[in-house]
Chains A and B, each alone.
Chain A
Amino acid sequence: MSASTSNPTSAKVHTLPVAGAQATNSLLRNPGTKLDLGWLEEVRNVNRSALEKRAATLVKRRSIKGENQAAWLLRALSLMDLTTLNSNDTDERVRRLCAKAINPLRRDLVEKLKLADMQIRPAAVCVYHPFLSVASNTLEGSGVHIAAVSTAFPHGLAPLSTRLDEIRASVGAGADEIDVVIRRGLVLGAHWQELYEEVSQFREACGDAHLKVILGTGDLASLRNVMIASMVAMMAGADFIKTSTGKESVNATLPVGLVMCRAIRNYEERTGFKIGFKPAGGISTAKAALEWLILIKEELGRRWLEPDLFRFGASSLLNDIERQLEHHVTGHYSASYRHAIV
């Protein structure tokens, strides 16, 4: 498995998508490590009550007002994987989503916010495989990346060969980011070796495409499982770890995010590689988005507030951000019908 080499010098510079014109420090792509069961043992100690307390108080310890809040909301917008993942999606629906990604804000808001030529757009759109071609046609030249959910999303229960083929097919169809799901049963059964091998193969199948590993945290039963599964995914070469498919009964929660951030911190401390994080599912308000950004800044630091290390998986969030930005520039509260739907 080439992706799981433990020699960091074999890592190559992997320029990840950056929305707009902003240049960021290039990241070394995570080459993965060997599966280290001793390390997994060390990270087992996860205390739910303490994490919940931290998550609950953290967002009360920081507050962002005025112009800063508007700037942070624009940042949230730029970190978004604008997503549609419904059984009744159609080409037209995806085209509409892509159009919104290209012009996420009303013209007058862009002017009043004095964004000038700065293109602030979602980092990517995220769709099912059949819509990749319409997405890539619509988004061409926009700088917005194209993510496909894969590996028998959302359950991950197709044969491994089918799942690997699906990744390769999506990469071939223009996806430069692949959001895979793990088999939650491997976590519940503590089959770490098998999980590691599957994710390693996902990574290999991705080639240069960006690998986001969805843990399906709502199915994992404990925060300890979230921690260990995060570590295994990173050891197997994940570029990003992601909370949820949006289809579990519990979506991204701050305590789960906190555990995953701490896993990322731990992985960086040990290997030097920065791994991205993507909470997804249920993040639909500007206020919630700010809370996530605060969590990231406090636990991982400013560097993570860039699209190569952080994404929101969201759709209706964009509309609420627009309304809040309108409030910022006009001083009065907006209505959602005044902004173009996704």
Chain B
Amino acid sequence: MNILERYHAMEYGPAPESRAEADAWIASRDFSRSLFIDGKWKTSSKAASFLTRNPATEESLANISEASEADIDAAVGAARRALKKWRATSGYDRARLLYAIGRTMQRHARLFAVLETLDNGKPIRESRDIDVPLAIRHFIHHAGWAQSLEREFPGQHGVGVCSQIIPWNFPLLMLAWKVAPALAAGCTIVLKPAEFTPLTAILFAEICEKVGVPRGVINVVHGGPSTGAAIVDHPGVDKIAFTGSTEIGKSIRKATAGTGKKLSLELGGKSAFIVFEDADLDSSVEGLVDGIWFNQGQVCCAGSRLLIQESIAESFISKVKARMAKLRVGNPLDKNTDIGPLVDKSQLQRVDKLVSEGQKQGAVCWSPETSLPDSGSYHLPVLATDVAPSNVLAQEEVFGPVLAVMSFRDQSEAVELANNTRYGLAASVWSENINLALHVAPQLKAGVVWINGTNMFDAACGFGGFRESGFGREGGREGMREYLQPLPDTGKRIKLKRSSLPIPSAAYSASDLIDRTPKLFIGGNQVRPDGGYSFPVVGPKGKLIGEAGLGSRKDIRDAVSAARAASAWRNATGYNRAQILYFLAENLAARSKEFADRLRTLVGSTGAAAKSEVDAAIERIFAAAGMADKYEGVVHQPPVRAVTLAQNEPVGVIGIVAPEEQPLLGLIAMLAPALAMGNSVIAIPSARHALIATDLYQVFETSDLPPGAINLVTGLASDLAPVLAQHDDVDGLWVVADEGICRLVEGEAAGNLKRVWTSNGYAVDWDGSHGSLERFLQRSVEIKNVWVPYGD
């Protein structure tokens, strides 16, 4: 075409980004030594390797060394050896290194972007304008956390050796999300990039080498799922941070049960993109493009479920189709490309399969008539209508450019549909009515909510999910916490023994009191155990003191239903909850002598010890009451015109398994903060001392607690804790018990990825680093980040 023809055609034409520098870098490197261990580039000890390919052309880019178990052992060993010195490095020194990493990345930003596009297939616009700048931002942001660590997180230090397993969809960005906070906290790292996309991690390691990160502090190993599993299983690792599929996340949860490894999981999603009739519809369409067709839809927080208000559904869908027709699918190195190839043929097949399954189940799939390149794993953008909530396209994470559309009639149906999923990562809410938007956001079960926007990220704002989207946050203060742990308590750790039901050695001696039947406390009522059995409660010398109801799985089921129904408590204001908890403390204090006496007869405590335990319990309730209206979120100011409201929301329904030791204080120390933050609770008190808990019913009943906020089921923890752990409607579980139970519940909790905390078989010092009010307040909430852009 000559210029005049072009003048009439007015086409964009190709605008390819040069790959020369990236090719030169690849050509100059010896990839047979691509394991970065202990500051050296090493070859695989089993001489294994794998190819990484360009998904746009299917050309192989490099042959990467695959780590053997021995290599992983060496990497973990190097990280372990480097830990002590690195932890002791001054915050300022670590901050300067983080800063140097960020700035050096900035100086090589385009090389990172082109390499990322070559290896992953994402459009160069995205790697250049989004992935790489955000990654740099993370390092520079975290320099400040490194320097201020002691001041901002007193009494804490880095958790130790961290295994970080990152996905292929945002290779460099996810590396930054993991490496930056770990370095800031003083942790050492064994990083495994995804096998589809190892290149930018190698370039990153080169930069670490260049700026002088001490050897062993960062180690990079390569390989597939078996390499990942070997890292997860390695006993020398203190913390695992994983981003990837929910399926693998669950297997990591199982594999680490009972090991004491700290865990953060950022998993799948099926995020809702909700458009109300009073939204800016044209802008919502653009938001949708950024929501579902960003990175070919290979985004954990992709807005893959479009929920439209019925009144605008038809016109909105036609707008979406018109917009889809303008999407350009093709060479990702072309600056005019909107949609590149999927990362691998296997992903293409997976997406195709899900789409055809969805069609079989009734979905109508539409794609624009856009031509695709002849080779490469490209997939057209898909709009699926007539999608029933049961359709696979509404249920499963497709991880591709596929949008499922449903409509809703009103706000409550929108929320119901949005929350009708196992996942809970993100959501977008579009409405020009701020009253509506800010009313809907807290009702959504999602860790991130974008109002009139989508896929907004910042290093200062936490990111992470509810439900099966995983737990833990990345970014901000809450992200730092994932890499910190309290300095060890000075006291001796007491290992807990498996408790069993006592066999009374002496008969029940009739007193002058009337016989009492302690029942279970479910939904605000004292109820008999479903099984109709009781168990003996004895004093320290074996004398029968009473008989408590033997709770079973059905009682747990009922208690969970009652807890789930306790919306009055969840929705009460903090001030209201504070008053009720103060009243609870008041009522317990009025009967403190009676409870102290009970402790003496049950546990055999001295009078002074019993009194001080009761007093401590009352004080803890009082303290928790005082925090009910204070343990609040924060407002972030990300570097765009928006505020991000980091709200503390109750975890939901929390199961509590209390220990024998200090049976009253132990129960209260977990119960009170959970209640203060608006959770409803199913507690299993110590069976041996069950009567101290059943005595509480009357205190609860006189304290105006709404039904279902507290439920107590007496019985054996070894029977009941696994039922709680397996229950899919329980959101959190805290267990102080012997090692066996702790391991068991951690493994079983993988089913719905509930937030589980155990004492790992040890007793808890209720004033110490793990048992303090502050720690339990933290565990009582999920942080939801609500992004609110503004401006008119």
**Cross-chain pairs A/B with CB under 8 angstroms, 5 sampled:** A45-B279, A63-B12, A68-B13, A74-B3, A114-B3
Residues of A near B326 (CB, < 8 A) are: 298
Q: Give the residue among B11, B129, B283, B642 with the most A Cβ atoms within 10 A.
A: B283
Residue contact A224 to B792, C-beta cutoff 8 Å: yes
Chain B nearest CB, measured from A261 CB (Å): 9
Q: How many residues of B contact A (CB 8 A)?
A: 39
Proximity string of chain A (240-280) to chain B, C-beta cutoff 8 Å, 1 when within and 0 when not? 00000000000000000000001001000000000000000
In whole angstroms, what is the CA distance A262 to B319 when docked? 12
Chain B nearest CB, measured from A70 CB (Å): 6
User: Is A297 at the interface (CB under 8 A from chain B)?
Assistant: yes
Find residues 2-39 in chain B having any chain A CB closer than 8 Å to their own CB: 2-4, 6-15
In whole angstroms, what is the CA distance A17 to B23 when docked? 51
In whole angstroms, what is the CA distance A44 to B432 when docked? 9
Residue contact A63 to B15, C-beta cutoff 8 Å: yes
The contact of A45 among B9, B10, B278, B336, by CB within 8 Å, is B278
Proximity string of chain A (278-298) to chain B, C-beta cutoff 8 Å, 1 when within and 0 when not? 000000000000000100011
Residues of A near B790 (CB, < 8 A) are: 49
In whole angstroms, what is the CA distance A22 to B326 when docked? 26
In whole angstroms, what is the CA distance A65 to B335 when docked? 10
Residues of A near B649 (CB, < 8 A) are: none
Proximity string of chain B (449-474) to chain A, C-beta cutoff 8 Å, 1 when within and 0 when not? 00011000000000000000000000
Identity of the chain B residue whose Cβ is nearest the Cβ of A51 in the assembled complex: B283
Tell me whether A49 and B642 are in contact in the complex, defined as CB-CB below 8 angstroms, given that A62-B336, A113-B3 are known contacts: yes
- Please tell me which stretch of A31-39, A53-61, A230-238 contacts chain B, meaning at least 4 of its Cβ atoms lie within 8 angstroms of it: A53-61
User: Is B154 at the interface (CB under 8 A from chain A)?
Assistant: no
Given contact pairs A49-B791, A54-B283, a sample of 8 additional A-B residue pairs in the complex whose CB atoms are under 8 Å apart? A45-B279, A45-B281, A47-B279, A63-B336, A64-B12, A71-B6, A71-B9, A75-B7
Residues of A near B9 (CB, < 8 A) are: 71
In whole angstroms, what is the CA distance A72 to B286 when docked? 25
Tell me whether A49 and B278 are in contact in the complex, defined as CB-CB below 8 angstroms, given that A64-B15, A66-B13, A71-B7 are known contacts: no
User: Is A50 at the interface (CB under 8 A from chain B)?
Assistant: yes
Residue contact A305 to B10, C-beta cutoff 8 Å: yes
In whole angstroms, what is the CA distance A114 to B13 when docked? 20
Residue contact B3 to A70, C-beta cutoff 8 Å: yes
Residue contact A65 to B14, C-beta cutoff 8 Å: yes
Tell me whether A45 and B280 are in contact in the complex, defined as CB-CB below 8 angstroms, given that A50-B453, A115-B4, A222-B792 are known contacts: yes
Residues of A near B336 (CB, < 8 A) are: 61-63
Tell me whether A60 and B15 are in contact in the complex, defined as CB-CB below 8 angstroms, given that A47-B432, A222-B792 are known contacts: no
Tell me whether A60 and B129 are in contact in the complex, defined as CB-CB below 8 angstroms, given that A22-B8, A68-B11 are known contacts: yes
Chain B nearest CB, measured from A75 CB (Å): 6
Tell me whether A50 and B789 are in contact in the complex, defined as CB-CB below 8 angstroms, given that A61-B125, A67-B1 are known contacts: yes
Residues of B near A106 (CB, < 8 A) are: none
User: Is A338 at the interface (CB under 8 A from chain B)?
Assistant: no
User: Is A1 at the interface (CB under 8 A from chain B)?
Assistant: no
Residues of A near B287 (CB, < 8 A) are: 50
Chain B nearest CB, measured from A296 CB (Å): 10
Proximity string of chain B (287-298) to chain A, C-beta cutoff 8 Å, 1 when within and 0 when not? 100100000000
In whole angstroms, what is the CA distance A36 to B279 when docked? 20
Identity of the chain B residue whose Cβ is nearest the Cβ of A48 in the assembled complex: B791
Tell me whether A62 and B3 are in contact in the complex, defined as CB-CB below 8 angstroms, given that A50-B452, A75-B10, A305-B10 are known contacts: no
In whole angstroms, what is the CA distance A77 to B755 when docked? 63
Proximity string of chain A (68-90) to chain B, C-beta cutoff 8 Å, 1 when within and 0 when not? 10111011000000000000000
User: Is B516 at the interface (CB under 8 A from chain A)?
Assistant: no
Main secondary structure of the interface of A (DSSP, over half): helix
Identity of the chain B residue whose Cβ is nearest the Cβ of A224 in the assembled complex: B792
The contact of B3 among A44, A71, A265, A302, by CB within 8 Å, is A71
User: Is B357 at the interface (CB under 8 A from chain A)?
Assistant: no
Q: Which residues of A line the B interface, CB within 8 A?
A: 22, 44-54, 57, 60-68, 70-72, 74-75, 113-116, 118, 120, 222-224, 262, 265, 293, 297-298, 302, 305
The 6 closest A-B pairs by CB, nearest first: A71-B6, A50-B283, A49-B789, A63-B15, A63-B335, A68-B13
In whole angstroms, what is the CA distance A51 to B281 when docked? 11
In whole angstroms, what is the CA distance A50 to B290 when docked? 11
User: Is B116 at the interface (CB under 8 A from chain A)?
Assistant: no
The contact of A114 among B4, B282, B791, by CB within 8 Å, is B4
Residue contact B15 to A118, C-beta cutoff 8 Å: no
In whole angstroms, what is the CA distance A223 to B283 when docked? 13
Residue contact B6 to A262, C-beta cutoff 8 Å: no
Residue contact A62 to B335, C-beta cutoff 8 Å: yes
Chain A nearest CB, measured from B464 CB (Å): 24
In whole angstroms, what is the CA distance A166 to B482 when docked? 72
Residues of A near B492 (CB, < 8 A) are: none
The contact of B10 among A53, A70, A297, by CB within 8 Å, is A297
Residues of B near A118 (CB, < 8 A) are: 4, 7
In whole angstroms, what is the CA distance A57 to B338 when docked? 11
User: Is B641 at the interface (CB under 8 A from chain A)?
Assistant: yes
The contact of B7 among A66, A74, A224, A298, by CB within 8 Å, is A74
Chain A nearest CB, measured from B777 CB (Å): 34
In whole angstroms, what is the CA distance A297 to B13 when docked? 14
In whole angstroms, what is the CA distance A115 to B4 when docked? 7
In whole angstroms, what is the CA distance A54 to B323 when docked? 13
The contact of B286 among A50, A74, A222, by CB within 8 Å, is A50
Chain B nearest CB, measured from A73 CB (Å): 9
Identity of the chain A residue whose Cβ is nearest the Cβ of B791 in the assembled complex: A48
Residues of B near A265 (CB, < 8 A) are: 282
Chain A nearest CB, measured from B274 CB (Å): 15
Find residues 113-172 in chain B having any chain A CB closer than 8 Å to their own CB: 125, 129
Residues of B near A62 (CB, < 8 A) are: 12, 335-336
Residues of A near B129 (CB, < 8 A) are: 57, 60
Identity of the chain B residue whose Cβ is nearest the Cβ of A69 in the assembled complex: B13
Chain A nearest CB, measured from B134 CB (Å): 14
Residues of A near B641 (CB, < 8 A) are: 49
In whole angstroms, what is the CA distance A66 to B388 when docked? 49
Q: Give the residue among A47, A222, A297 with the most B Cβ atoms within 10 A.
A: A47
Chain A nearest CB, measured from B450 CB (Å): 11
Residues of B near A70 (CB, < 8 A) are: 3, 6
Residue contact A65 to B278, C-beta cutoff 8 Å: no
Residues of B near A297 (CB, < 8 A) are: 10
Residues of A near B14 (CB, < 8 A) are: 65
Residues of B near A116 (CB, < 8 A) are: 4
Residues of A near B11 (CB, < 8 A) are: 68
Residues of A near B3 (CB, < 8 A) are: 67, 70-71, 74, 113-115
Residues of B near A72 (CB, < 8 A) are: 6, 10
Residue contact B6 to A67, C-beta cutoff 8 Å: yes
Find residues 423-477 in chain B having any chain A CB closer than 8 Å to their own CB: 432, 452-453
Residues of B near A60 (CB, < 8 A) are: 125, 129
Identity of the chain B residue whose Cβ is nearest the Cβ of A52 in the assembled complex: B791
Residues of B near A49 (CB, < 8 A) are: 452-453, 641-642, 789-791
In whole angstroms, what is the CA distance A223 to B452 when docked? 16
Residues of B near A262 (CB, < 8 A) are: 282
Chain A nearest CB, measured from B11 CB (Å): 7
Chain B nearest CB, measured from A281 CB (Å): 22
In whole angstroms, what is the CA distance A222 to B432 when docked? 14
Tell me whether A114 and B642 are in contact in the complex, defined as CB-CB below 8 angstroms, given that A60-B125, A61-B125, A262-B282 are known contacts: no
Residues of B near A44 (CB, < 8 A) are: 432
